[in-house]
Amino acid sequence: MKIPQALIDSLKEVKGFNESTFINTHENEEAPTSIRVNPFKKIDKFNDAEAVIWSEFGKYLPNRPSFTFDPLFHAGTYYVQEASSMYLEHILKKTVDLSQDLKVLDLCAAPGGKSTLIASLLTEDSLLVSNDVIKTRANILSDNLTKWGTMNTVVTNNDPKDFMRLSGFFDVLVIDAPCSGSGLFRKDPEAIKEWSPENVTLCSLRQKRIIGDAWSCLRQGGILIYSTCSYSKAENEEIVDWIEDTFGAEHLCPETKGIGNEVISENSYRFYPDQIKGEGFFIAAFQKKSSEKEVFIRSGKPIKNNNRRTEREIFRNWIEDIDKHTWFEKNDDYFLINPIHEHTISLLQSNFYLRKAGVRMGKLSSKDLIPDHELALSVELSRKVSRVELSLNEAISYLRRDEFSLEEAVKGWSLMTFQDFGLGWAKVLANRVNNYYPKELRILSK
């Protein structure tokens, strides 16, 4: 690996940069492997692994296993995430009262690492809106949040400027901005070929546009968290100065004592792989001082479902406590949501393209539900649903969508599980088993 000399030269005056150890680490040391455990789907598998000290749920692994062939990965019990980026957890805990019910926007959210992290920290009455402007990436984002299993998430597929419509709406705005990617050179050496000073400049301009487009959707007193996986000052400290000068935001410097060797650079945080166990990362936090005309949302109240009694009784067989939930129907699909989010989701539906909202339960046919894959991975799924526990080999076969048979399985819909965690649905018939694991998610490698 050969680090571009132009990058080295640009970092020589940056706080914390040590040229010799920086180059040596990139040329001679492998990137560590880290995962973050899902607190809603607790497993013991990583209990003895080394902790990521700035993350309650982060763990380092001694080597990189084949996650593709671990059914627990497909069940959403953990997420493979670079350790430095988990520092978002510490920043959120130090700048936001996470005991409150919040509306959070993760603006550039795909593939979903930071969104699943945020979802792990919020109250159940909070709402996380995760957005990505690129459709294919929004689909991956949706799949990863489906695995996480929580109901209080919405995935949108919109340009950042569209969020101007929600003036003063969000309590927290997270922008993990598209960048030149120099902080991930160890994980993706091919990215070196794409790096150039010109590309850094283009990324800096794009980052300003994204922030400028979304700024008005943050309420007065709300928190902006900005991050990149770049080392370049033009994408980091210079963006910080631009935010302060342009919007009059207060640059915050959360307490960090005793949690790592991150470098504090002008009240922001830099991670160098020669100084911490992780990759290159930059993160900064701000509080908004200016006011915006806020969008008015009626407080959500539980819907009386008396006129939908038949639907409720059907859903009662599938949902743990249907009387505490509500739902809406669109294009024959039924979506389970928290009643308190009803009006907010209705507002989002009328202004944005929603890829996911709450938990897609499925379609009604006659007097039963044809369950959707999202329901299989949801933490709201009832324990009364028929389940079939699979061995490792059976689980891999199921995840490949291979044909397989089951002994002593109850006819009808059954949840396929591994170590009691849902993987997806199968329908047991008299002479065969129909595998309903989504084709687009199946394991292709051997």
422: annotated binding-site residue?
no
Q: How far is Cα 4 from Cα 407, in angstroms, rounded to an integer?
A: 59
User: How long, in residues, is the chain?
Assistant: 446
DSSP H or E stretch at residue 161:
none
Nearest CA-CA partner of 284 in 254, 307, 314, 262: 254
Query: CB-based burial of residue 12 (10 Å sphere; 0-12 exposed, 13-18 middle, 19+ buried)?
Result: exposed
Catalytic residue among 179, 217, 229, 253: 229
Q: How far is Cα 329 from Cα 321, in angstroms, rounded to an integer?
A: 19
113: annotated binding-site residue?
yes
71: annotated binding-site residue?
no
Token reading at 309: 């009694």
DSSP H or E stretch at residue 244:
helix 237-247
111: annotated binding-site residue?
yes
2: annotated binding-site residue?
no
Nearest CA-CA partner of 438 in 377, 373, 388, 375: 373
Q: How far is Cα 321 from Cα 331, in angstroms, rounded to an integer?
A: 25
249: annotated binding-site residue?
no
159: annotated binding-site residue?
yes
203: annotated binding-site residue?
no
Q: How far is Cα 92 from Cα 76, in angstroms, rounded to an integer?
A: 23
Q: How far is Cα 319 from Cα 80, in angstroms, rounded to an integer?
A: 29
Q: How far is Cα 420 from Cα 387, in angstroms, rounded to an integer?
A: 9
108: annotated binding-site residue?
yes
Reply yes or no on whether 229 is catalytic: yes
The contacts of residue 219 (CB under 8 Å, 6+ apart) are 168, 169, 170, 171, 288, 292, 294
Q: Would you put residue 352 in left (φ > 0), alpha (ψ -120 to 50) or beta?
A: beta
Nearest CA-CA partner of 7 in 177, 182, 181, 179: 182
Q: What's the N-to-C CA distance of the chain in angstroms?
A: 30
Are 283 and 225 in contact, with CB atoms under 8 Å apart? Answer: yes
Residues tagged in the binding site annotation for S-adenosyl-L-methionine: 108-114, 132, 159, 176
Catalytic residues: 229
Residues tagged in the binding site annotation: 108-114, 132, 159, 176
